[in-house]
Amino acid sequence: MGRVTVRRRVLRLNDSAATRKVDALAAEEPLEIRLNGSPLTVTMRTPGDDFDLAVGFLVSEGVIGSARDVDTIRYCAGATVDGENTYNVLDVRLAPGVTPPAVSLERNFYTTSSCGVCGKASLEAVRTVARWEVAGDPVRLEPELIAALPDRLRSAQRVFDRTGGLHAAGLFTSSGEMLCVREDVGRHNAVDKLLGRALRGDRLPLTSTVLMVSGRASFELVQKAVMGGIPVLAAVSAPSSLAVELAAERGLTLLGFVRGASMNVYTGEERITRKAA
């Protein structure tokens, strides 16, 4: 299996002092995902939870919606010319009767760790048809509960503590219970790993849950939340204009700049309870 971290000697400069030390870096390696034996996409990711990443990606694309839609997942042996298994190529076999994605919805063959939708052909292709509607989810949340989530997410970032270089996504219940946390060099990969874990545990849709992310709230993260049936997305940084537009369109509650006791509610404010003035 690939390494989550890589150690490298560096020169550390501090005022007039110069020292050499060993630094831990977050690993970044390509993962080729094949579907029924045919190449589908390559994404740059932190090794680990690769099966969850692959099926979570397929959830995000609207290809699958339950564990029953997947027949097998396996790493491809002989991934190099000398027969070595790199653990960087895996194949997902769909269950009989599950329709593969249309060509118009497929990504280009390579996407970076920073962007989950760079290969999409058009905006309409990105607006994947969701299996579940989040607009009617009755979940209600107190601002104090949401304000506590960034610290809870940060405390669960084990690899970040060693490298300082990973995004994180955490799934929480409406009472603040942490269900799952995933880290990755790509923010979209971290969310896909959460969705894949939920699918393999037969927990989709993720009704009455909160998705907390360590960075900004981009369009693709809103899309992934909707595709997983998650009604609330909170981020420690800013959302993009397209993220807000999609959240409003789909009935998702979107919060940004969740820092300390303050936060911005961009859409779905009816889910946030407030004390009467």
Structure token digits, residue 131? 């299996």
Q: Is 115 a catalytic residue?
A: yes
Query: Secondary structure of the chain in the HEC alphabet?
Result: CCCCEEEEEEEEEECCEEEEEEEEEECCEEEEEEECCEEEEEEEECCCCHHHHHHHHHHHCCCCCCHHHEEEEEECCCCCCCCCCCCCEEEEEECCCCCCCCHHHCCCCEECCCCCCCCCCCHHHHCCCCCCCCCCCCCCECHHHHHHHHHHHHHCCHHHHHHCCCEEEEEEECCCCEEEEEEECCHHHHHHHHHHHHHHCCCCCCCCEEEEECCCECHHHHHHHHHCCCCEEEECCCECHHHHHHHHHHCCEEEEEEECCEEEEEECHHHECCCCC
Catalytic hit among 76, 115, 118, 180: 115
Rg over alpha carbons for the chain, rounded to the nearest Å, is: 19
Catalytic residues: 115
